[in-house]
Amino acid sequence: MINNLAKSFSRGALLLAMAGLMVTTSASAQSTRKQMRTANKFFKKENYRAALPYYDQVLAADPNNAKALYFAGISYLTFDKEKAGDFLNRAHQLKPNLDKELEYWLGRADHINYRFDNAIEHFQSYQKTINKRNIERKEEVAQLIQYAKNAKREVANPKDVFVKNLGGDVNTAYSEHSPVISSDYNYLLFTSRSEATTGEKAAQDGEFFEDIFETNRTGEDSWEKPRPVPGALNSAGHDASIQLFDNDTKLLLYQSINNGDIMVSERQPDGSWGAPKSISDKVNTRDFESDAYITPDGSTLFYSTSHFSENGDLDIYMLQRNKNGSWGNPKSLGRTINSKFDEDSPYLASDGTLFFASRGHSSMGGYDIFAAKYDSVARRWGRPENLGSPINTPDDDTYYRLAPDGSYAYLSSYRIGGYGEKDIYTINYIKNATVKGRVLVQGDSTLALPGVELVFNGLQADKRPISYRDVSKPDSATYNVTMLSGRNYQVQLSLDGEVLETQEFEVPVVLDDTTTIRKDFFVTLEDTTVARIAKLTPDAATPASVKMENIYFATDKYDLRPEAIQELDRIAEIMKANPTLNISIEGHTDSRASDSYNMTLGQNRADAAFDYLVSKGISAKRMVTVTYGESRPAVPNTSADNMQLNRRTIFRVLPREELQRNQEVQ
């Protein structure tokens, strides 16, 4: 579960960075030399937090001490990537030939700070200095160059995904990871190396040992102050949460015993957790078992282990539970999933998609999250797909877990702008929003503009163009468009083929499919155009024409909904304020029943609005009702959403003579 700097970067690179630079220091004050020696001692132990204050003291006395800048820059790579790049670049500016490893570390810093071309240049320069016989080192740097190329490609083609930090209630300046959410979304377990841990004060690397914490949701984006889990879960070593299962009564967890084992704990009646027990000798070995996932029915276990690897990397295996409850023998997921690098953190979604973290395949750098599906006919796993940017970053991205309903996911990674080291994030796919409103004349909000074409032009996250269109309705000058949220649109408004003007409109990020955004567009027109529109639509200049919205009904119903009553109350107020205003109330249906039935249903819907307005004091002589049944759909009856739009009653302003003609017919 632990990914320290030596694992993430290169143990060899760290040792090479120290060689030749630790022993000698600049001819400065004795206290500075002592501070430098102390800092280097901690650095060699990979205790970077302890080393940095001493490097800072050296730099306070000697800001141009290239060696202190160099080692401080490497140290900052563990939890402040931006500062790491600044320190390493300053060292390079002062002494370009300070150390041949400097090019390597500049490449690492540029890579994780999204400067991919610079990173590739540094790595290529460093490659030339590697001894030809050091094949392992050459392969490592070649892989780093490929990571940078992968990252450049993915970042240039991002997905429409919203990644959000879980916030300071949970995340700290230390590492938080392995989020586990309960089936009701309100109970969160996670792993932290913060100062609140209960085990030994600190591990050898200067960080606190990992402990499992719990918290309860207090709001949509807020949590109680986390606390170490009660019971016997947290030991003196590393402990990490993995998965709640069996109706949230059991917990898979990691403990750093026997080089790392997968354990199981059961929840006690008082809410605490019982003493962890090994999940199985078929799983746990003398080697490193890191993470696991058990299917909801308890029949299959996926887990990552180094036990079967020739070079000590992690691979993903699975076992099936026997009828007697014991576990069968482990089986590798095969070379399609397991690369020559680490594969970790398996998670099987309800649709059969396997999500896992890998340093191989097409990783952008460090661990990335991949997805693969099993072909039951061919009986093999499909090629893993990188989830791409912004889910994955050039640094480690791990512990991808879907919420119980699959609507969003949790992830642990280091990202610029976080709280420090790894943080826990949520991932939502950006959804469509319904945008609707009216087109009105600037300076005269009573004058609506029917027949205006609105074209919304924007870009997807990967820069591909998208466009949406509607025309303002003849009766109300309203429009209604469903469009991708979370972007800025250029809106072109045209009338009779002539572009009136172009405006900008930003649609905020929407994470569900039910959000409606209201936006009225005001258009500046020449006086001749205003006069022409007013002549063509003489009733558009009344308050009713711009205020009256359609009302909608349930399938086969003509009962007034609460929102319909609210709109009818507004219409009644408008008509009271405008005593010469007359309206036609027109009932419509979807196409589910026969024509004759729908004509009757449409009349009932119009009558329901008519009767309500009469009850509010509006004279029956000022209104007529009409039914069109299913004959005038607003949109094709091709989906449940469209049919809802057609189950409506609309309100149209009538000149007095037309009102009289309609009343004579009725």
Instruction: Respond yes or no on whether the N-terminal peptide bond of residue 53 is cis (omega within 30° of 0).
Output: no
Cα 63 to its chain centre, rounded Å, is: 41
Average pLDDT, 10 consecutive residues per value, the chain (666 residues): 52 57 50 90 90 94 94 91 93 93 96 96 95 92 96 93 93 94 93 84 78 93 92 90 95 95 95 94 96 94 95 95 93 95 95 94 96 90 95 95 86 89 92 92 78 92 89 89 93 90 91 88 71 46 59 94 91 81 92 88 95 92 91 88 93 71 53
Residue tagged 């999500």 (tokens): 355
Tokens of 193: 């190396």
pLDDT at 104: 96
Assign 522 to helix, strand or coil. Answer: strand
pLDDT at 542: 45
423-429 vs 409-413, strand pairing mode? antiparallel
Backbone region of residue 279 per phi and psi (left: phi > 0; alpha: psi in -120 to 50; beta: other values): alpha
Residue count (the chain): 666
Q: Which residues contact 133 (CB under 8 A, 6 or more apart)?
A: none
Angstrom distance (rounded) from CA 474 to CA 522:
17
pLDDT at 351: 87
Q: What is the DSSP string of 634-665?
A: SS-S-SHHHHHHHSEEEEEEE-HHHHHHHHHH
Residue 184: exposure state from Cβ atoms within 10 A (0-12, 13-18, ≥19): exposed
* Rg of the chain in Å (alpha carbons): 33
Backbone region of residue 603 per phi and psi (left: phi > 0; alpha: psi in -120 to 50; beta: other values): alpha
pLDDT at 529: 53
226 with 237: CB under 8 angstroms? no
pLDDT at 25: 43
Residues forming beta bridges with residue 582, ordered by sequence position: 654
